[in-house]
Amino acid sequence: MTTTLNETHDPSLRSWLASANAEGCDFPLQNLPFAVFRRRGGSERFRCGVAIGDQVLDLGAAAATGVFDGLAAEAARAGGEAKLNALMALGAPAWSALRLALSRALRAQAPHEQKLRACLVPQSEVEYDVPARIGDYTDFYTSVHHATNIGRQFRPDNPLLPNYKWVPIGYHGRSSSIGISGEHFPRPVGQTMPPGATQPVVGPSRRLDIELELGIFVGSGSARGVPVGMEQAEDHVFGICLLNDWSARDIQGWEYQPLGPFLSKNFATTLSPWVVTLEALAPYRVPFTRPEGDPQPLPYLDSGANRAQGAFDIQLQVLLQTPRMREAGEAGATICRTSYRHAYWTIAQMVAHHTVNGCNLQPGDLFGSGTLSGPTATEAAALIELTQGGKKPVELGGGETRTWLEDGDAVTLRGWCEKPGAARIGFGECTGTVDPARSLA
């Protein structure tokens, strides 16, 4: 586990790039997240970059300057590819060597400033792509608060199913429809059973929802047939981004029995461009604990390191911007504030559970954390919870309310970490916009 602090986490570090030292900046020297980018409006190819302040450092170009050596140089060269998979496959020692080399090269008074300045592209001038070729996407369900809130709507007397506190619940999702922040997608059309009706109808979803999640990217893969134990689990994890798992609740409610969600989830999943490494998040680890009276994890889901610091305190926020707000130049209204620390299962437990049966992982595989609702009403991370199943609209200010998403609504997820004695680091944003449904041909 990359649990230990090192010189790259030193909160007193400053960069020769002034924007990286600005108060409240998501991308100071202590963060160094990875993305896939190119200049907008041209014919450039996508390649990998690192965020520093308001710039992107072109990794392949930086490697070509010859300022890195050894494993760090190899890792930087892998960043010349169109996706992060090659860098991910190199493994945790390479990611760490590159982080250290970048940290030293971007510090104030570091040599080679002029060479690296030539490798910077302003973030305001770039567009991003999905950061990896995602072979498989698995969506977990790690918030006990979400599971309980949803379960209560269907089974008021028995909201949480008996397996929840023993098994990290998940299902296999769809990779082809994973998109990047800034995307628009049409409202999904599907089959629903209206209340009181005797046969289903087909049409645009009327209960379109969000799910605030984190995306967890697998770095180095694992062999088929070989379980990954808790002690090694995080060595296989490259980093974390923001993930919106858009969900059509009316389609879901009709189709989900007995095999679970299908068309209600696979029309769109939106990611933030920047992947923050677990090493960058080391200052924000917190203990994994279970409430008094809950079962402790089975041995294959337990470790001393996981108990001591297997969870992460990542602050999360959801903003909803209506078309009226956009026309008025207003930012979205905050509809949820929570933290990842409330999750019932940790990242290491997701990896150990996913592989215990012999299922292999590949570089670039993506896990969704599941909707990250916290314990209180304002920490609910989906409209189905915030509106109590559509019964109580959310007030957005300016006289506007929402029960479900309407056409033109844009939803933005934000994430960041901050605490005394550590540098504040951020995840940037994950935004998606709902367009009107396409008519059936």
Say how many CA atoms lie within 13 Å of 228 toward its Cβ.
26
By CB under 5 A, how many residues form the interface with Ca ion? 3
Is 236 one of the catalytic residues?
no
Q: Which residue is nearest to Ca ion (CB)?
A: 245
Closest to Ca ion by CB, 58 vs 211, is 211
Distance between CA atoms of 286 and 42, rounded to whole angstroms? 44
Closest to Ca ion by CB, 136 vs 235, is 136
Q: Interface with Ca ion by CB under 5 A: which range of 94-102, 162-170, 204-212, 338-346?
A: 204-212
Q: Interface with Ca ion by CB under 5 A: which range of 82-90, 135-143, 161-169, 218-226?
A: 135-143
Say how many CA atoms lie within 13 Å of 153 toward its Cβ.
15
Distance between CA atoms of 27 and 54, rounded to whole angstroms? 8
Q: C-beta of 105: minimal distance to Ca ion in Å?
A: 39
Closest to Ca ion by CB, 235 vs 379, is 379
Please give the distance of CA 291 from its chain centroid, rounded to a whole number.
26
Please select the residue that binds Ca ion; options are 209, 211, 255, 409, rule is CB under 5 A.
211
User: In sequence order, which residues have a C-beta less than 8 Å from that of residue 304 and are 6 or more positions away?
Assistant: none
Prior bond of 297 cis (ω within 30°)? no
Closest to Ca ion by CB, 81 vs 245, is 245
Encoded one letter per residue, x for contact with Ca ion by CB under 5 A and - for no contact, window 361-390 reads ------------------------------
SS3 content of the chain, % helix, strand, coil (to 5): 25, 25, 50
Interaction between residue 139 and Ca ion (CB under 5 A): yes
Encoded one letter per residue, x for contact with Ca ion by CB under 5 A and - for no contact, window 300-339 reads ----------------------------------------
Q: C-beta of 236: minimal distance to Ca ion in Å?
A: 21
> Residue 145 carries which side chain, given as an amino acid letter?
H
DSSP per-residue letters across 59-85: HHHHHHTT---HHHHHHHHHTTSSSSH
Q: C-beta of 167: minimal distance to Ca ion in Å?
A: 16
Please select the residue that binds Ca ion; options are 81, 136, 245, 279, rule is CB under 5 A.
245
**Residue 29 DSSP class:** T
Compute CA distances 292 → 24, 295, 296, 312, whole Å: 37, 9, 10, 20
Contact indicator for 170, 137 with CB cutoff of 8 Å: no
Active-site annotation holder among 9, 112, 145, 146 = 146
Closest to Ca ion by CB, 139 vs 409, is 139
Residues involved in catalysis? 146
Binding site for Ca ion (CB under 5 A): 139, 211, 245
